[in-house]
Structure 1
Amino acid sequence: MLPKELLEVLACPQCKGDLEYREKEQKLVCHKCKLAFPIVDDIPVMLIEEAEKLEG
């Protein structure tokens, strides 16, 4: 689980928008850019190149 303080300051590196934390999937999701950033060993990987593109 990511600390609340960290979640409050993290933003999408592409659009600087808000992220949704999906704890079960271990991802941070930007709905505007339709990207999901993985969380590996409790560390968010905020690289656009590493993000998963979401459908829809």
Structure 2
Amino acid sequence: MPLDPFLLSVLVCPKCKGDLTMVSEPEGLVCPACELLYPIREEIPVMLVEEALPYPSVNSR
């Protein structure tokens, strides 16, 4: 289930406060500036820097 567009418009990267982009595989929110993926678990974005995954290595799997 996609995130509500309003929610996506107000969420920012917790590390750099930059914009996030929704990706579907793996499902999550990506910060292009930090190259981090914030995963979505049970339809809830996990917006913790400690839980973020490096996006290029996740995307290349």
Question: TM over 0.5, yes or no?
Answer: yes
| Structure 1 segments unaligned to the other structure (5+ residues) | none
State how many pairs are aligned: 56
- Tell whether 2:48 aligns with 1:47: yes
Q: How does 1:1-56 map to 2 (within 5 A)?
A: 1-55=2-56
Distance 1:35 1:21 in 2: 12
TM-score, normalising length: structure 1 = 0.90
Q: Is the partner of 1:5 in helix, strand or coil?
A: helix
Task: After TM superposition, give the deviation of residue 54 of structure 1 in Å.
Answer: 2.5
Pair 6,31 (structure 1): closer, same or farther in 2 beyond 3 Å:
same
Distance 2:8 2:55 in 1: 21
Distance 1:12 1:43 in 2: 15
| Structure 2 segments unaligned to the other structure (5+ residues) | none
Identity percentage of aligned residues: 48
Task: After TM superposition, give the deviation of residue 24 of structure 1 in Å.
Answer: 4.2
Q: Between Structure 1 and Structure 2, which shows a larger proportion of helix residues?
A: 2
